[in-house]
């Protein structure tokens, strides 16, 4: 293989890339979102500067990707934290667990999504929408919501989905120190909200050393939503370079 071909390669292995060189389009992406109040000190311990917290809130989400170009169907779950960067309000992606290797690798390498392996599920059970997350063979989260009890305004649902998102992009160097250490921003703009609902909800988080969702304990459920959308993910751009700050 010629050197110029290597430079143009998107990912390894060179002969069988881990993901396709294409923008993934999500069709009928289904969200279960539960916003809850948590311990403010625990929240401050995990949100990196220069992001700031106004209220001690966390959003637990389960997303069922019913159809995704290049990746196929898969499910994802995680925790998202409402934050502020200067005057802009957004969300910090704290943790994401999913059951698709290609989507995991692409999310980490192309962007900065904090994705690791897990087994999330989203399904209905006896009049409830249920979201679960297992790490290995152990349950670490169970979310329940009344199935389509009350319609949610579509514009309000769209605002939830298109909130600016912040992530940490960390690439280690060969000497053990970071080669890249940036706060990056993205925002979904190409979105069609098809359905949106709300209803009563509960969330249980279970202690696990390697999936520490319960380190942000559930003190009070604030709101819940069930949203069905089509969307395409946008690219990311850096908004803060930690290495430049450290050298100054």
Residue positions annotated with a catalytic role: 115
Coil, strand or helix at 200: coil
The rounded distance, in Å, linking the Cα atoms of 156 and 190 is 16
Report CA Rg, the chain: 18
Number of residues that make up the chain: 248
Burial of 151 (0-12, 13-18, 19+ CB in 10 A): exposed
Residue 10: CB atoms within 10 Å = 14
């Amino acid at each position: 293989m010629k050197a110029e071909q290597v430079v143009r390669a998107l990912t390894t292995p060179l002969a069988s890339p881990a993901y396709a060189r294409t923008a993934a389009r999500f069709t009928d992406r289904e969200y279960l979102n539960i916003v809850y109040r948590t311990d403010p000190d625990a929240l401050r311990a995990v949100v990196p500067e220069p992001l700031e917290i106004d209220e001690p809130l966390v959003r637990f989400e389960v997303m069922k990707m019913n159809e995704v170009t290049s990746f196929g169907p898969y499910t994802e779950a995680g925790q998202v934290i409402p934050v502020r960067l200067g005057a802009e309000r957004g969300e910090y992606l704290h943790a994401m667990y999913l059951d698709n290797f290609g989507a995991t690798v692409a999310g980490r390498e192309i962007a900065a999504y904090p994705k690791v392996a897990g087994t999330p599920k989203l399904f209905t059970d006896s009049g409830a929408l249920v979201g679960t997350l297992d790490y290995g063979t152990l349950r670490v989260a169970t979310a329940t919501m009344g199935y389509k009890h009350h319609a949610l305004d579509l514009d309000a649902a769209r605002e939830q989905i298109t909130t600016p998102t912040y992530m940490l992009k960390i690439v280690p160097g060969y000497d053990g120190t970071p080669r890249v250490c940036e706060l990056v921003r993205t925002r979904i703009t190409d979105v069609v909200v098809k359905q949106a609902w709300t209803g009563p909800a509960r969330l249980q988080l279970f202690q696990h050393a390697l999936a520490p969702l319960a380190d942000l304990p559930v003190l009070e459920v604030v709101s819940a939503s069930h949203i069905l959308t089509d969307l395409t993910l946008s690219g990311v751009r850096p908004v803060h370079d930690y290495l430049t700050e450290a050298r100054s």
